[in-house]
Amino acid sequence: MSAISIGQAVVLGVVEGVTEFLPISSTGHLKIAEGLLDIPVDDTSVVAFTAVIQVGAIAAVLLYFFRDIVRYVTAWGRGLADREQRYHHDYKFTWWVIYATIPIVIVGLAAKPLIDGPLASLWVVAASLIGGSGLMWAADRMGRHKRGEDDTGFKDAMLVGCAQILALLFPGFSRSGATMSTGLILDLDRVAATRLSFFLGIPSLTGAGLYELKDAMGGAVGAVPLAVGTAVSFAVAYASIAWLLKFVAKHSFNAFVIYRIVVGVALLGLLGTGVLNA
């Protein structure tokens, strides 16, 4: 019997699609949802399931930003063949994304026992939701929002890329929340910080999903729930991306900050009363 039913896979796919790119923590919400659905979160195949369905969300990014990605990859290919093309911003940006992914890969592999063990606790999720809210609130007010995407440089990409490590180690912190906040602190405008967060998430999240695929397929989840969860996450994430880019163009992160604090406090209450098991 599968550890996750098709109905549960649909629910988790919706949660993943909605929360992957919003700065509210997909990992945290997935762990909360799994707890409420009484899914064995310590099962390695369940842990792998949550990583694999992220690939559906990443596929949504690839489709939504298809023209941009083709532009970057084309510029990268031209730069490899022609030295003069290497001064083009798109060529350099592609390399920056590659370089900025290396730190999270190293930390992810080295700290995997901690990430899948003690740091997977819902107590950590609750604390990270609340703590990450403070960073987002401060970043939104510290940043001067004066630099666009064409103004990004190697330092921006590396610092924003390294910020992903916070979410990797502390589920609930939010990868998008950490990367967007770092972009704002570097004075990027909200749209530029959000787009940079999307592009940096493509290699790291895709790699994590493919790495965990063997455990998801070979464990107690099953191929059908995995396929359903991934497909649902793709459809919902596509709509979520479009909404988020329109939202950040005109609004601050205040709504996300308030929501995170409410969820974090509620989670502490559920854990403290024994309704949820950490």
Per-residue model confidence (pLDDT) at position 40 = 73
Q: List the domain range (segments joined by +) for residue 101.
A: 6-272
Would residue 278 count as lying in a domain?
no
**What pLDDT shows up at residue 110?**
94
Tally the domains of the chain: 1
Q: For residue 277, is it within any domain?
A: no
155 inside domain: yes
Tens-binned pLDDT, residue by residue, of the chain (278 aa): 567 889 999 999 999 999 989 999 988 898 889 888 988 766 777 777 888 888 899 899 999 999 999 999 999 999 999 999 999 999 999 999 999 999 999 999 999 888 888 888 889 999 999 999 999 999 999 998 899 988 999 999 999 999 999 999 998 899 999 999 999 999 999 999 999 999 998 898 888 777 776 666 655 677 888 899 999 999 999 999 999 999 999 999 999 999 999 999 999 999 999 888 87
- pLDDT the model gives residue 216: 61
The structure's pTM equals 0.88
Q: Is residue 264 part of a domain?
A: yes
- In a domain? residue 11: yes
Q: For position 2, what pLDDT does the model report?
A: 67
CA-CA distance, 50 to 235, in Å (whole number)?
Answer: 16
Residue 1 within any structural domain of the chain: no
pLDDT at 105: 92
The reported pLDDT for the residue numbered 239 is: 97
